[in-house]
Amino acid sequence: MNKSMIWELITHQLTPQREKEVWEQINSSPELLAQYKHMKTIWSLSESDKVFPNETISDKYKAFRTQHIKQRSKGIRILSVLKYAAILLIAFASSYSLWMLNNMQESSYSTISHYETGNGSINTIELSDGSQIWLNANSSIDIQKADNNCVELKLDGEALFDIVHNEQRQFIINTQSLKIEDLGTKFNVRSFKDDNVIIASLIEGEIQVSHIKKQFNEILIPGQQISYSKADGQYTISHIDTTYVGSWKESKFEFVDKSLEDIAKDLENWYGVSITFKSKQLEKERFTGVIQKSTSIEKVLDVIAYSAGIKYSINQINDHTEIMIQ
């Protein structure tokens, strides 16, 4: 084993099979491992490759500037964004910036875009007018319509919307039984198939929430939350503290007076485990706390167990983790 072999590993010049063999050798010798670490450090700092041509970077900067730096009134902002619409297409290369509504004047979207997330991942969808959507774990969004006059999408799961208001354009979110229309706004919608309730919480602006069968129609103001029960079709509007609404996008679990039943659902979505309760009584226990999502499930359970005074056990069955709370 010599230096050049380590270099070949670091710079990905080996076949997958050979790569593993070389790695085995390095990993079993402290001396080689130290050398590997040193060489990888130098390599990563060496600025050895220019992946993006200058033009691409300058386009990326324009998009970055539009989104984060430029602070003007909304009307002007949207106009100048339209000017850049063609340029923004290039930023599409990154799956994280999913630009749509490009060239709104010419194109009509016949294809439906689909975005989804699995366990433990959050995705961001950015619209070319600066609007942003964060998609929580195990959720999906289907863009059903996107033209100058209307953007319509279907949500299954939970998402936080920060929508730049545009008088000329409708922005509609369809869930299983509710239709939510943005009137310029930041709000969170939670509508998982398995949940009994659909919840929309408004942080800023105004949204209109209506039943798909037109049974009701409500306009929410900031700090209001509508909670719709799928079972009986009843809904309540309550006042909430919006500090923690949508906090899931910050890679933290923030539970504010939340029942263990709801907390368990969040944990199931994030960690891909299943959680059962020994008694119904426990499900109703309420808990408040903040936990980093990078924490292991065991630690999260330890924290909750300690503060809520519960016990839990973990069973590993094949590839699946089952947790029992008692």
Partner 1 sequence: MKKLIQQHIDVKLIRSGDEGAFEKVYTAFFNSLYFFAIQYVDKKAEAENLVQETFLSLWLNKESISGQSSGSVKSWLYTTLKNKCLNYLEKESNKHQYNNYQRQKQKVDIDILEQMQISDVTFTEIEKLLFEALEQMPEQCRRVFELSRFNGMKNKEIATELNISLKAVEANMTRALKALRIHLKDYLPLCFLLGLF
User: Taking CB under 8 A as the rule, does residue 71 contact partner 1?
Assistant: no
Q: Are 298 and 275 in contact (CB under 8 A)?
A: no
Region of 138 (left: φ > 0; alpha: ψ -120 to 50; beta: rest) is left
CB of 140 to partner 1, least distance (A): 18
Q: How far is the CB of 135 from partner 1 (least distance, A)?
A: 14
Tell the smallest beta-carbon distance from residue 118 to partner 1 (Å): 9
Q: Give Cα separations from 230 to 60, 75, 323 (angstroms).
A: 44, 39, 27
CA-CA distance, 198 to 190, in Å (whole number)?
Answer: 6
Strands (E), 128-251: 132-135, 140-146, 150-163, 170-174, 178-191, 197-211, 217-220, 224-229, 235-239
- Asked if 293 interacts with partner 1 (CB under 8 A), we say yes
What's the min distance (Å) between Cβ of 212 and partner 1? 34
What span, in angstroms and rounded, lies between the C-alpha atoms of 326 and 115?
A: 37
Write the DSSP string, 291-316: EETTS-HHHHHHHHHHHHT--EEEEE
Which one of residues 80, 149, 196, 251 is an interface residue with partner 1 (CB under 8 A)? 251
193 lies in the site for partner 1, by CB under 8 A: no
Contact indicator for 271, 228 with CB cutoff of 8 Å = no
- Candidate ranges 90-98, 174-182, 189-197, 241-249; the one touching partner 1 (CB under 8 A): 90-98
Cβ-based nearer residue to partner 1, 212 or 314: 314
Token pair listed for 326: 């008692």
Q: Is the CB of 241 or the CB of 298 nearer to partner 1?
A: 298
The nearest distance, CB 208 to partner 1, in angstroms, is 32
Q: Which of 15, 17, 95, 318 binds partner 1 (CB under 8 A)?
A: 95
Q: Helix, strand or coil for residue 207?
A: strand
Report which of 220, 252, 257 is spatially closest to residue 235, judged by C-alpha positions. 220
Q: Does residue 4 bind partner 1 (CB under 8 A)?
A: yes
| DSSP run (H or E) holding 258 | strand 252-259
Stretch that binds partner 1, among 1-9, 133-141, 241-249, 275-283 (CB under 8 A): 1-9
Counting residues that bind partner 1 (by CB under 8 A) gives 47
Is residue 114 a contact residue for partner 1 (CB under 8 A)? Answer: no
182 bridge partner residues: 171, 207
Query: Rounded to the nearest whole angstrom, what is the least distance from the CB of residue 278 to partner 1 in the complex?
Result: 25
Q: Which CA distances in Å does 93 have to 57, 96, 109, 232?
A: 12, 9, 19, 45
**Smaller CB separation from partner 1, 105 or 294:** 294
Residue 72 vs 193, nearer CB to partner 1: 72
Q: Considering only residues 7, 99, 109, 216, which one is a binding residue for partner 1 as defined by CB under 8 A?
A: 7
Q: Note every long-range contact of 33-37, with CB atoms under 8 Å and residues 24 or more positions apart, other chains counting.
A: 35/3, 35/6, 36/6, 36/9, 36/10
Residue closer to partner 1 (CB basis): 46 or 281: 46
Pick out residues in 11-70 that bind partner 1 (CB under 8 A).
11, 13, 20, 23, 27, 33, 36-37, 40-52, 54, 57-58, 60-61, 64-65, 68-69
In whole angstroms, the minimum distance from the beta carbon of 98 to partner 1 comes to: 10
Q: How many CB atoms lie within 10 A of CB 258?
A: 18
Q: Is 10 in the site for partner 1 (CB under 8 A)?
A: yes
Residues lying near partner 1 in the complex (CB under 8 A): 3-4, 7-8, 10-11, 13, 20, 23, 27, 33, 36-37, 40-52, 54, 57-58, 60-61, 64-65, 68-69, 94-96, 120, 251, 272, 293-297, 319
